[in-house]
Structure 1
């Protein structure tokens, strides 16, 4: 697409607040951003829903947004306007689709037969981390495109697990030239390296505001066929993703609370009461979509964990792996349990970590399934 055409779309996108339904209404009338621009004076007379600030923005020239295009080229960001063949069809089914998407990587991920978003809190319990990793890995293993928001916590667990067997895509709440969160910079690189995508509706070079999380969440749900909520408190942002999914006609699944009395699960309870399906295994997802989509048939048994390859480990290292509990533990615990010297344990744990059988977090070691 030529630069002038892209500038027309950028002009239309920037004339309205993110998440506004008004650009879609104007496109219904005029079909293309250039036509809206050419009829902007007429728009002021015909459409009383346009505010004075929006009309003022529509009087600007598309050329004023050339710096956005230049910044996109600098950061290798694709500009995908609403009428582009690569624009995800799922987004065109919602009331307030973004006029322009910004993308790094391959949008082919969103053309998979089935896309499932997995979301949850940034501060999950160890149990919820394991559930998130299970969901991300087992869904991806079935050829399903796994989506999340690339935030800390559940999002990161989901993406990493999906990358271990396939690819994944992330819908970001910030512009693609922002390193947020900084802790997931390496994860974003891995998503791209494995053929996935990073997507945002916010142009590079613009500010990042907390309100953008909710705007992002509506896109995350819209790009998916279903949303799985792993853990959410009563104030969790994941609830806005679930609500948006329900409003958009997407399936909503919830992992039942691991502890009915723990407030970290209070956000899940009303979703289940309102009709969200229970997520007890990935079979709940594949069963819900079995008549609409083809899902890979070569699968591990439902509800079972996927063990890492231990073939390159010594018998003693395998024994150590099998002796480890599910929760993170330190070397003192392992030394007492196995009778091994801490110095020997450290060598073996390093080998297990390199093989992907364990993960080190905050000085503790946790078995990886």
Structure 2
């Protein structure tokens, strides 16, 4: 539960409320106004019209001063504060950096649980909502193995493969659920206990949708783009030809992510979607180690995880100095050249090099093949 929201968070939520989750309208308005609070004033209708904002959104702006609209917004804010443990804006240091390169990134995320898990290395596991028993077991086993190796497993909290993946990763307390509704509800309702387990065991549940958002069909493809964007790669464990998980694979391909597909019997309807993905270029896998190998993750990082499993580190957690937080949060698990980091951090090379060295001494950063990447901190 949140005690309060900042002025900037309220500005974001107000605009998000008026444009009803429209990414196109939100970013047009966000780009035009240096002060987002001004964007939602009643006298801005003409500006919105010039920006080409949809007439429905303009009408909502015109009606926003009415008592009924104000009451709806106040209820929305109350529900956000009641059901959210955190609200992340795209400007925030703790906003997932892996989402930032995409034009359709969610401008705001509402979440429950530990927000820091969103910055951890993730692999998505998706698939059919009505899988075979074999497919369900495979999703569980892959999630169990990869979470044991230190990865967080991301999925959509749906029935079937999503559910099995979350359950497998829960055994090592490493899973993230992305929802297609507001935080005040769970879809499907029978996964309320699973959701509570994810939060209780150090995981995270997030959504870009405001309270009151129903589980409509068009919301789940939007959710899928976040699942894939957060992850280093996407595993399709089992899917029929018309499975919604193929939409996730499509998003992953457009985002430049690796797509992995687990094959099955050639006469099985449950696997025709996976076979189609393989024909289109997805990587065929039959063991989770192949995922780690094909992602080409740093050998040092993998070795560090294996050492931690046999020799657990001291429970003392490394405190990250405040001046290093923006830089550490920008680093990812793949690696970035120093020129790219300089451009994003807007620091001179000497200062940036010094900060990178500080992170290396703390064991939070490493350099490999000319790229700087994040290390997993001791816990």
TM range (shorter): 0.7 to 0.9
> What secondary structure is seen at the aligned counterpart in 1 of 2:23?
coil
Q: Please tell me the root mean square deviation across aligned C-alpha atoms, in Å.
A: 2.4
1:88 equivalent to 2:88? Answer no
Report if the CA contact (8 A) 1:24-1:95 is conserved: no
> What secondary structure is seen at the aligned counterpart in 2 of 1:199?
strand
- The structure richer in helix per residue is 2
What does residue 153 of structure 1 align with?
160
User: Higher Cα Rg: structure 1 or 2?
Assistant: 1
The structure 1 residue matched to 2:108, chosen from 93, 100, 115, is: 100
For residues 234-290 of structure 1, the C-alpha deviation after alignment (integer angstroms, 9 at most, x for no partner) is: 11110111101111111111111x111122212122211221111222222211233
In the aligned structure 2, how far is the partner of 1:295 from the partner of 1:32? Answer: 45
Report if the CA contact (8 A) 2:125-2:237 is conserved: yes
TM-score (norm 2): 0.72
Report if the CA contact (8 A) 1:132-1:158 is conserved: yes
Aligned-residue offset at 1:63: 5.5
What does residue 182 of structure 2 align with?
175
The structure 2 residue matched to 1:208, chosen from 166, 191, 215, is: 215
> What secondary structure is seen at the aligned counterpart in 2 of 1:266?
helix
In the aligned structure 2, how far is the partner of 1:136 from the partner of 1:296? Answer: 20
Q: Report the CA distance shift for 1:152/1:299 in structure 2 as closer, same or farther (over 3 A).
A: farther
Q: Report the CA distance shift for 1:265/1:28 in structure 2 as closer, same or farther (over 3 A).
A: same
What does residue 51 of structure 1 align with?
54
Report if the CA contact (8 A) 2:173-2:198 is conserved: no
- Structure 2: tracts of 5 or more residues without a match: 308-379
What does residue 232 of structure 1 align with?
239
- Structure 1: tracts of 5 or more residues without a match: 301-369
Aligned-residue offset at 1:101: 1.2
> What secondary structure is seen at the aligned counterpart in 1 of 2:105?
coil
Q: Report the CA distance shift for 1:3/1:67 in structure 2 as closer, same or farther (over 3 A).
A: farther
Aligned-residue offset at 1:3: 4.3
Aligned-residue offset at 1:295: 3.1
Report if the CA contact (8 A) 1:21-1:95 is conserved: no
Report if the CA contact (8 A) 1:142-1:296 is conserved: no
Report if the CA contact (8 A) 1:11-1:58 is conserved: no
The structure 1 residue matched to 2:40, chosen from 37, 42, 56, is: 37
In the aligned structure 1, how far is the partner of 2:98 from the partner of 2:38? Answer: 24
Aligned-residue offset at 1:41: 4.2
In the aligned structure 1, how far is the partner of 2:222 from the partner of 2:211? Answer: 16
